[in-house]
Structure formats: C-alpha cells, structure tokens
Amino acid sequence: MARRAGVSTATASRVLNRSAPVSEDALARVETAVRDLGYVRQRAQSVGARATGAVAVVVFEDMIHYWSDVFYSRLLVGVERALLHGEQELVVLTASRRARRPSLLRYLCGGHVDGVLLVGPRGDDSLPRLIRAAGVPVVSLGRPMAPGDLPYVDADNLGGAAGAVDHLLRSGRRTVGTIAGPPDMSVGADRLRGYLRAVREAEGPVRETVAYGDFTVASGEHAMIRLLELRPGLDAVFAASDLMAAGALRTLQRLRIRVPEQVALVGFDDDAVACRIRPLLTTVRQPVEEMGARAVAELLGQARGSGQDQGQVVMETTLVLRDSA
C-alpha cells in the first residue's frame, strides 16, 4: 500500500498507527491508496444491498475503562434496540492499542461489516477519515475534533454546560468556577465553551475560573484544590463530569466546606456515581440510548444510499436537580 501511495512504509505505518505526526499531504496520499487498493471493501453492485449483515461499534477506550463506564452500556442498549427490527448483527470492538490500527482498519474496510459507528475517536486519529475514504458508511458518536465532513451524533454539551451554570447563577451564586475536561477532546472543549458563554453573559461581577482534569475522580480532587487557590471565595463549581465532581466533593469535605451551603456543585453525565455520593449530585443528563439509536438510523441511511450527506445531529440534554446545587 505504501508503494502505491508514494509514501514510505514508515509514513504509511505512522498514519495508521498515529505513532507520530504526518503531513496532510502524506495522509491524503495514504487515503487515496486505501480507496484504490485491497483495503477497499467490494461494494455490492446494487447500492443498499445488505452485504454482510453486521454493523460494527468501535469504542476508542481500553477494555477496563470500557467496562467501568455506564455510558457505554447505555449506548449499546440503544444501538441494539435500534437494530432489533433490522437484519444486522451488532459487533463491538474496542480500540485502545495504537499498534493495532492497521489490522483494525483492514477488518472494518475488508467487507466484514456494513457500517461503522465510532465512539469517541480522538481528534488526531486518521482512522475515521480512512474508513470513509474506503467507502464504508461511518458515523461518529461524539463530535470529532478535526474539522471535516464526518457525520456525527452528539449531545448538546455546550448548551447543557451553559444551562448548568445558568442554574447556579439564577440560584444566587456569584463566583462559579469550572473543572474542565481535556481541551483536545470535543466533549471537554464544548462543555468549557458552555461554561464560558454562561459566565460571560451573566450580569454582575462573575469571573471565569478554570482548572483542568481528565474526567477521573483523582483529577477532580486535584482540580478542586487548584480552583480554591485561584479563587478562594468561590461559591459554586461546575464539573465537566460526575466523576470529577465526586473528586471535587472529596476535597471540599476534607476541607470541611459544606456542599451545597458554602459551595454548590453540578456535574455532567448522570453517571451511577451521582446517586452514590452524598449530597446527591445535581447533574446534566445526556440522552445516551437515544443517541445510539439515532446514530444507527444515520448509519443505515448512508448504507441505503439515502445521502452521504453530512448528518450532524445534536441532541438535547436535561438538567437533573438533586441536592448538591
């Protein structure tokens, strides 16, 4: 394939493995090669013919995190339900190991599945683009970071975050900080943008205060300490995930700061942890099952040939009021 693409084998391997940056030009040439060569699946003569009877869900997560996050189980229940009345089997793959990318691409584009649903691909991942280049229907669950024409289904992370911060401000809080997720993930970037929009539109002396975490409990604990250093008098925190909110709560309780009396706290995700901690966590719920079902509908639409158009679907979130804010 490398020879055909006019790039070195090492470059082709870098493209597939994301092991190092490659130029746009090299990526484009590998893309063309993928389209032309054996990687391309043999499309059925009649567009829309059911070729393999299976739809793949590729989760960009290692097996352990995959199993510990209720998001994926809700999502797959939604996907399975949507496929129930069709003819397709659901096959699930996890993709954490960079070194395995060539074999993953070969499988997904080798005529073994009718379409691919990507869950949380990273912005620098060439896989979505290469699958699309091979002519395989593909939809991303979660907005891809890289600008492009990849169809996606996502929750309204920006609106959900802005709504959570609005709620804090309307209930009388004056100094709202945020624990943001990684800014190189769309879910991190969009929730931060929502916080910033709400704070900037607020009347009065609300000032932005941002600390970053990686969506884990431990990172929430540390980010909460950082927020208190940056803004000692803050009276509310919007955490971009429930796990980070749980970490923040741990820090606040260790410092004997009362929640919600002294500091109100809102999370995001309506994870199982939200009802395991006390006070019960106010949070933003995504319609995960519905997102899974909608992504399947988009995928089957592409497979039927009813538009390779850029389906970009953003679904509404709900603020779930409990005891922490």
Do 93 and 56 touch, CB atoms closer than 8 A?
Answer: yes
Our finding on whether 64 is near its own copies (CB under 8 A) is yes
Cβ 261 to its own copies, closest distance in Å?
31
Cβ 77 to its own copies, closest distance in Å?
5
Our finding on whether 305 is near its own copies (CB under 8 A) is no
Dig out the tokens for 88 from the structure: 């397709």
Our finding on whether 76 is near its own copies (CB under 8 A) is yes
Among residues 179 and 273, whose Cβ is nearest to its own copies?
273
Task: Report d(CA 208, CA 179) in Å as an integer.
Answer: 11
Our finding on whether 42 is near its own copies (CB under 8 A) is no
Place of tokens 């802005």: 162
Cβ 67 to its own copies, closest distance in Å?
4
Binding mask 83-112 for its own copies (x = CB under 8 A): -x--xxxxxxxx--x--x--xx-xx--x-x
End-to-end CA distance of the chain: 56
Cα distances (Å, whole numbers) of residue 68 to 62, 72, 164, 293, 324: 10, 9, 25, 22, 24
Backbone angles phi, psi at 112, to 5 degrees: -100, -15
Contacts of 85 (CB under 8 A, 6+ apart): none
Our finding on whether 52 is near its own copies (CB under 8 A) is yes
Angle at 217 between CA 212 and CA 220, to 5 degrees: 30
Only segment of 60-68, 153-161, 181-189, 297-305 that touches its own copies (CB under 8 A): 60-68
Place of tokens 């539109």: 201
Among residues 116 and 223, whose Cβ is nearest to its own copies?
116
Cβ 168 to its own copies, closest distance in Å?
33
Backbone angles phi, psi at 284, to 5 degrees: -110, 125
Our finding on whether 302 is near its own copies (CB under 8 A) is no
Task: Report d(CA 113, CA 136) in Å as an integer.
Answer: 9
Three-state secondary-structure class, residue 138: strand
Among residues 106 and 304, whose Cβ is nearest to its own copies?
106
Among residues 6 and 53, whose Cβ is nearest to its own copies?
53
Among residues 89 and 208, whose Cβ is nearest to its own copies?
89
**Per DSSP, what are the bridge partners of residue 265?**
237
Output the CA torsion sign for 128, 130, 132, 135: negative
Cβ 92 to its own copies, closest distance in Å?
4
Our finding on whether 275 is near its own copies (CB under 8 A) is no
Our finding on whether 44 is near its own copies (CB under 8 A) is no
Cβ count within 10 A of residue 321: 12
Cβ 254 to its own copies, closest distance in Å?
24
Only segment of 17-25, 49-57, 235-243, 304-312 that touches its own copies (CB under 8 A): 49-57
Dig out the tokens for 311 from the structure: 């389906």
* Residues making contact with its own copies (CB under 8 A): 52-54, 56, 63-64, 67, 73, 76-77, 80, 84, 87-94, 97, 100, 103-104, 106-107, 110, 112-113
